Amino acid sequence: MKILGVTGSLRKGGNTEFTVKSSLKAATALGAKTDEINLSDYNIHPCSGCGICKKEKCHIDDGMHELLLKVAEADALIIGGPVYYGSISGGLKSFLDRCRPLKLQGNQLRGKFGGAIAVGKIWGHSNAIDTIFHFFGSQGIFSVPIYTNPGIGVQVFASELGDAEKDIEGQKPAEELGKRIVECLVRAKEK
């Protein structure tokens, strides 16, 4: 049972990374193996829309080739997106777009589980979560809800560096997400 956390913020050590780590820590406590990638550590170019990935390896030479292997190996994904101007960051959007070969070359993510986290100051959380859930839907990934309001994904309200860490109540849904994903993986294995 392997869960991959994706931190879509280009701010290293920021609120989104802290929240993704909270979710992974809760999953680890229940026996899951976890790994994390920070998009700030990779040079990911936007998709050029050329369609080469329908049949062969993407022609763009960047860090995405390594990340596709990690994503394909995971049983579940927790994707954390910072909210910039009402939706996810451009870096995270490029990452999601560049996962297209995993669908076009054998639906490699179909049947896996995914959870969404949005971290931002005031607004746009639901747009960010919606974008991540649309990615899950297009890949055949089951979106894992949590038992909090609004229930569709984790919404953390933070602006300044360290705000998420100070918001202990805000981290509870992130921890719940990690637990729920483990629960889903265990139940799926039982079937």
pLDDT tens across 113-168, in order? 999 999 999 889 999 999 999 999 999 999 998 876 666 789 999 989 999 998 88
Tokens of 138: 């297009």
**What does the pLDDT read at residue 148?**
66
In Å, what is the CA distance from 168 to each residue of 113, 150, 157, 177?
26, 18, 11, 15
Quote the mean pLDDT of the chain. 93
pLDDT digits (tens, 9 = 90+) for 21-53: 999 999 999 999 999 999 999 999 999 999 999
87-88/76-84 β-pairing? antiparallel
Residue 46: asked if its preceding bond is cis (omega within 30°), the reply is no
How many CB atoms neighbour CB 177 within 10 A?
Answer: 28
**What does the pLDDT read at residue 149?**
62
Cα–Cα distance, 54 to 128 (Å, whole number): 27
Domains of the chain with bracketed CATH: 2-190 (3.40.50.360)
